[in-house]
Homo-oligomer: A and B are copies of this chain.
Amino acid sequence: MKRVINFNAGPAALPLEVLEKAQSEMLDWRGTGMSVMEVSHRGKEYDEMHHHAMQSFKEIAGMDDSWKILFCTGGASTQFAMLPMNFLTKDKTADYISTGHWSKAAIKEAKRFGNVHIAADTESNGVFTRIPEQNEIKLSSNPVYVHMTSNNTIFGTQWQYWPNLGTAPVVCDMSSDIFSRPFPVEKFSMIYAGAQKNLGPSGVTVVAIKEDFLEKVATDLPTMLAYKTYAENDSLYNTPPCFSIYILDLTLDWIKNVGGLTAIEKINKEKQEILYKAIDNSNGYYRCPVEKNSRSWMNVVFRLPTEELEEKFVKEAKNAGIIGVKGHRSVGGIRFSIYNASTVKHVKDAVAFMDDFKIKNK
Which chain A residues have a beta carbon within 8 Å of chain B's beta carbons? 1-4, 6, 8-14, 16, 19-20, 22-23, 26-28, 32-35, 37-41, 73-78, 80-81, 85, 105, 108-109, 112, 194, 196, 200-204, 220, 222-225, 237-244, 247, 321, 323-324
Sample (16) of A-B pairs whose CB atoms are under 8 Å apart: A1-B33, A3-B34, A6-B34, A9-B40, A11-B242, A19-B37, A22-B26, A23-B23, A75-B238, A80-B224, A108-B223, A194-B239, A202-B241, A202-B243, A203-B242, A241-B241
Q: Known contacts A222-B112, A241-B73; is A38 also within 8 Å of B26 by CB?
A: no
Q: Is A40 a contact partner of B26 (Cβ separation < 8 A)?
A: no
Closest residue of chain B to A222, judged by CB?
B81
Q: Is A223 a contact partner of B6 (Cβ separation < 8 A)?
A: no
- Taken together, the copies of this chain in the complex come to 2
Residues in B whose Cβ lies below 8 Å from that of A10: 40, 239
The complex places the Cα of A225 from the Cα of B75 at a distance, in Å, of 12
The complex places the Cα of A22 from the Cα of B37 at a distance, in Å, of 12
Q: Is B243 a contact partner of A81 (Cβ separation < 8 A)?
A: no
Q: Is A19 a contact partner of B35 (Cβ separation < 8 A)?
A: yes
Q: Is B41 a contact partner of A11 (Cβ separation < 8 A)?
A: yes
Q: Is A109 a contact partner of B26 (Cβ separation < 8 A)?
A: no
Closest residue of chain B to A197, judged by CB?
B239
Q: Is A27 a contact partner of B1 (Cβ separation < 8 A)?
A: yes
Shortest 4 CB-CB contacts between residues of A and residues of B: A203-B241, A4-B33, A81-B222, A73-B73
